């Protein structure tokens, strides 16, 4: 799907990857961009940047885990720009904890990294199916394909996000709705860099797996991936080879990851 003339909604778009995608979509000629985040000021800054560059954008304060708020985003897109073509469920969370993470951390990881995408699909699919066209982009992680030592809730829920995206693609691609899973490794964002600075095992493992890239690099990969409508969008091409290697020798892969986590 080409982005020119399309209307796009993004969650988690005040900073990092989400903000980079919002700016890039506008630069690609999107007819309108709905920039949403729990950080109202941050979302407003991104929308203002897009407008200053000649694009059309509106900021909406929204909690990506709330189906009610997601419905508001869809309604806003239609009210402001007349339609909705692409929904990017991008908000995410990581706590850097193991299997003994607090119940609240497991629950929050599940709500943001999985149920956000479930609710987004529930909200956007009816209209997209009625039109026979639409795109749902789920921001997962390379950790959702390869695993990551040191952060159990993140690894588990990102695997679930990839699994959900795959199910949606299998079910709805024949009916015109495209679905992609965005799976980067290390990106220079506030989600990762503090963990690297603190020497956290999960953050260090991600940083060691592939060179860190910028959010703008991810946005570039997304534009290419949406253009070709490929299911896995991999800003780090090395993830493709590593994923194939894991599939071919799972026990060896587990041993390798265990050494990294040690």
**Catalytic residue positions?**
154
Instruction: Give dist(CA 140, CA 123) in Å, integer.
Output: 19
2, 4, 52, 153, 231 from 57: Cα distances, Å = 18, 14, 10, 34, 27
Which positions ≥6 away from 135 have C-beta within 8 Å? 1, 85, 86, 87, 177, 178, 179, 180, 226
Q: What angle do CA 215, 3, 131 make, to 5 degrees?
A: 125
Angle between helices 16-27 and 215-228 (to 10 degrees): 50
Q: How far is CA 209 from CA 5, 95, 156, 187, 222, in A?
A: 37, 19, 18, 12, 20
Both tokens assigned to 154: 């993140």
Is 101 in contact with 110 (CB distance < 8 Å)? no
Round to the nearest angstrom and report the end-to-end CA distance of the chain: 43
How far is 47 from 56, CA to CA, in rounded Å? 8
């Amino acid at each position: 799907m080409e982005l020119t003339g399309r209307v796009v909604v993004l969650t988690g778009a005040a900073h990092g990857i989400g903000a980079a995608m919002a700016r890039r979509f506008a630069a690609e000629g999107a007819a309108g961009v709905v920039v949403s985040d729990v950080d109202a000021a941050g979302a407003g800054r991104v929308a203002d940047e897009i407008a200053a560059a000649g694009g059309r954008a509106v900021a909406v304060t929204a909690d990506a885990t709330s189906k009610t708020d997601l419905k508001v985003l869809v309604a806003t897109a239609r009210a402001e720009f007349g339609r909705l073509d692409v929904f990017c469920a991008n908000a995410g969370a990581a706590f850097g904890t193991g299997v003994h993470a607090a119940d609240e951390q497991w629950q929050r990881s599940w709500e943001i990294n999985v149920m956000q995408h479930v609710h987004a699909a529930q909200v956007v699919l009816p209209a997209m199916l009625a039109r026979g066209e639409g795109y749902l982009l789920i921001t997962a992680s390379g950790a959702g394909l390869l695993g990551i030592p040191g952060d159990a809730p993140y690894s588990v829920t990102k695997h679930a996000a990839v699994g959900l995206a795959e199910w949606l693609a299998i079910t709805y691609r024949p009916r015109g709705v495209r679905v992609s899973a965005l799976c980067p490794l290390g990106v220079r964002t506030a989600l990762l860099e503090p963990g690297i600075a603190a020497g956290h095992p999960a953050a260090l493992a991600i940083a060691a797996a592939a060179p860190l890239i910028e959010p703008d690099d991810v946005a570039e990969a997304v534009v290419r991936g949406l253009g070709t409508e490929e299911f896995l969008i991999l800003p780090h091409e090395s993830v493709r080879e590593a994923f194939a290697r894991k599939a071919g020798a799972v026990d060896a892969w587990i041993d390798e990851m265990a050494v990294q986590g040690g």
